Structure 1
Amino acid sequence: MIEDVFPRQLHPYWPKLQEKTRLWLLEKRLMPADKVREYADGLCYTDLMAGYYTDASEEVLQAIADYSAWFFVWDDRHDRDIVHGRPDDWRRLRHRLHAALDSPRHHLHHPDALVAGFADSLLRLYSFLPRTWNRRFARHFHEVIEAYDREFRNRTAGYVPKVEEYLALRRLTFAHWIWTDLLEQGAGCELPDPVRKHAAYRRPALLSQEFAAWYNDLCSLPKEIAGDEVHNLGISLVTHEGFTLEEAVDEVRRRVEECVSEFLEAEREALRFADGLADGTTRGKELSAAVRVCVGNMRNWFSSVYWFHHESGRYMVDSWDDRSTPPYVNNEAAGEK
């Protein structure tokens, strides 16, 4: 369905993007040099972003791709802190990320490479659009950090959230509104609240993110079962709704397919909304064009997420020596003690 309805797009800057993000990971010491050499390209982090924000300028796309790579490294640190029982390390990191989000310039040389890399990526992202966008992005990411803390506590306690609780948490841990905020960076235009919050814009934005989160749940289920995860729609369905594993997989797939069909309808409404913004003024023309770019990139998210999950080494659990330990992670405690 995805291959037929959502042709794959890729920003022409992608080969350079891959090279520069690889160098950035090394420069910022976010992954050991041997891990970068062996795994960085195969993880396809830059492919994911180059297939999403296809209208972004090269400078913007590079900032987004580096930030995205940082996000995956952070996600892996969070996972390893849980697996290896390091709650104090996680608590320190959580507080430092909150602080860096509000004052990145003061954290560029932080002893913890993850904090310093975060600060660097933030300063670059904050340089493109007005401060109002920056404050909104920061507000949304503060919520993401706190959601990761809830995940930490859930996993430490072995608590599997019920389905509706999980879906609400997932919208934060998958950072739905962060990737949606970045659509405006890709379009080079901050959208005013009446446009951004309009149902015709919000609905396809949410559907594209829900598709991505649930497709991720579908593809990462073997990896997460192997790693004793508790956060997966399939796991919630089995634990709380009495589904067999096979039934849970079918239900997640059904929800994924429903997202696709509902998006196609919402996309048409969003494009009509964009047309209505072109009211004969220069500003109206600009907003109409920006919304069209954003909606086009929402569409890109379907194919980009699809191919990422089938090509990235992040989900090839059957090829790992230890199904519970990704080969591209550093299992040692990290950060300043």
Structure 2
Amino acid sequence: MPADKVAEYADGLCYTDLMAGYYIGAPDEVLQAIADYSAWFFVWDDRHDRDIVHDRPAAWRRLRFRLHTALDAPQQHLRHQDPLVAGLADSVLRLFSFLPDTWNERFTRHFHTVIEAYDQEFTNRTEGIVPGVDEYLRLRRLTFAHWIWTDLLEPSAGLELPAAVRNNVKYRRAALLSQEFAAWYNDLCSLPKELAGDEVHNLGISLVVHHGLTLEQAISELRTRVLECIEQFVEAERAALRFADGLADGTVRGKELSAAVRACVTNMRNWFSSVYWFHHESGRYRVDSWEDRSTPPYVSNEAAGEK
């Protein structure tokens, strides 16, 4: 985003506001680090999109390699010539300062898979492959970074959760549903832009191509899935909160763990309201006011990080 575009559009995109509505209760320095990482993520997403639209596979391969490398050695990439690479290094170093190395290693593993999922999306879009619905939903959990945003609940709560807690079916189901809602609602709101740009990566488009639905039927199906996700979360939330309460076993550790899990589950609920608000307030989805409905007016079409 050129400097003049930042001044004109950045505040209206509401990227940091989205995170402020999700990670409620996080210490200021944690919330700032997450919000900045989220803003970086949107910029990365736009760079990825521009590399596809302008047929720049070499630029994408270069960026993919550099992001993997910076993720593994962020300290060495703080002054990288590509601001996107330097921005990732800065973001993860700040995020890595809050919890033990075991959390940092998990975040790193999860984000490596997100980068590779973006590479799969790059291939699908450049080759015109519309993934089947089930395949798309699996890939979407990675391109939307479900487990990254779930991981970040922990520094917000001030405690790394043990694997037995994170992997408990009650906790994990609530976490998954909160992220599925966000991804599917994003697909619903992004559909006009992505249809205008001959996109292939959207649940609505997969429903049209592989289930034979009309566009109107696909939109209706998307809305139904979103509503069902909300209903299922309400049930899953109750179970997850009961699970949190059960962790309070009379010990100091049990009380601490119970409070942290309850804080995480509470913020899973906040994802619904924050995502809904964001998609109706952010300039990222106001395609009717754009000169080209497929191209946000704030992005630069120049290739970046070419040196």
- TM-score (normalizing by structure 1): 0.90
Q: Does 1:303 align with 2:278?
A: no
Structure 1 position 325, deviation (Å): 1.2
Q: Does 1:64 align with 2:25?
A: no
1:45-92: CA deviations, max 9, x gaps? 011001000110000000000000000000000000000010000000
Determine the structure 1 residue equivalent to 2:104.
134
Alignment of 1:161-310 (within 5 A): 161-310=131-280
1:155-207: CA deviations, max 9, x gaps? 00011000000000000000000000000011011000000100110000000
Structure 1 position 35, deviation (Å): 1.1
Counterpart CA distance in 2 for 1:57 and 1:331 is 37
1:191-228: CA deviations, max 9, x gaps? 00000100110000000000000000111100110111
Structure 1 position 330, deviation (Å): 0.9
Structure 1 position 128, deviation (Å): 0.3
Counterpart CA distance in 2 for 1:68 and 1:32 is 19
Alignment of 1:31-46 (within 5 A): 31-46=1-16
1:236-278: CA deviations, max 9, x gaps? 0000110000000010100000000000001011110000000
Determine the structure 2 residue equivalent to 1:81.
51
Determine the structure 2 residue equivalent to 1:122.
92
1:118-144: CA deviations, max 9, x gaps? 000010000000000000000000000
Counterpart CA distance in 1 for 2:44 and 2:217 is 32
- Alignment-mate amino acid for residue 305 of structure 1: V
1:85-125: CA deviations, max 9, x gaps? 10000000000000011110000011011000100001000
Counterpart CA distance in 1 for 2:86 and 2:199 is 28
1:267-303: CA deviations, max 9, x gaps? 0111100000000111100100000100010000000
Runs of 4+ in 1 over 6 A off after TM superposition: none
Structure 1 position 336, deviation (Å): 3.2
Q: Does 1:111 align with 2:84?
A: no
Determine the structure 1 residue equivalent to 2:64.
94
Counterpart CA distance in 2 for 1:35 and 1:128 is 33
Counterpart CA distance in 1 for 2:303 and 2:16 is 26
Tell me if structure 2 keeps the 8 A contact 1:111–1:336: no
Counterpart CA distance in 1 for 2:270 and 2:147 is 16
Q: Does 1:156 align with 2:126?
A: yes
Q: Give percent identity, aligned residues only.
A: 80
Counterpart CA distance in 2 for 1:102 and 1:177 is 18
Determine the structure 2 residue equivalent to 1:18.
none
Counterpart CA distance in 2 for 1:36 and 1:289 is 39
Kindly report the root-mean-square deviation, in angstroms, between the aligned alpha carbons of the 2 structures: 0.6
Counterpart CA distance in 2 for 1:250 and 1:152 is 28
Counterpart CA distance in 1 for 2:73 and 2:221 is 43
Alignment of 1:21-40 (within 5 A): 31-40=1-10
- Alignment-mate amino acid for residue 195 of structure 1: V
5+ unaligned residues in a row in structure 2: which ranges? none
Counterpart CA distance in 2 for 1:135 and 1:52 is 23
Determine the structure 2 residue equivalent to 1:316.
286
Counterpart CA distance in 1 for 2:91 and 2:84 is 11
Counterpart CA distance in 2 for 1:49 and 1:226 is 28
- Alignment-mate amino acid for residue 149 of structure 2: W
Secondary structure of 1:127's counterpart equals: coil
- TM-score (normalizing by structure 2): 0.99
Q: Does 1:50 align with 2:24?
A: no
- Alignment-mate amino acid for residue 248 of structure 1: A
- Alignment-mate amino acid for residue 38 of structure 1: E
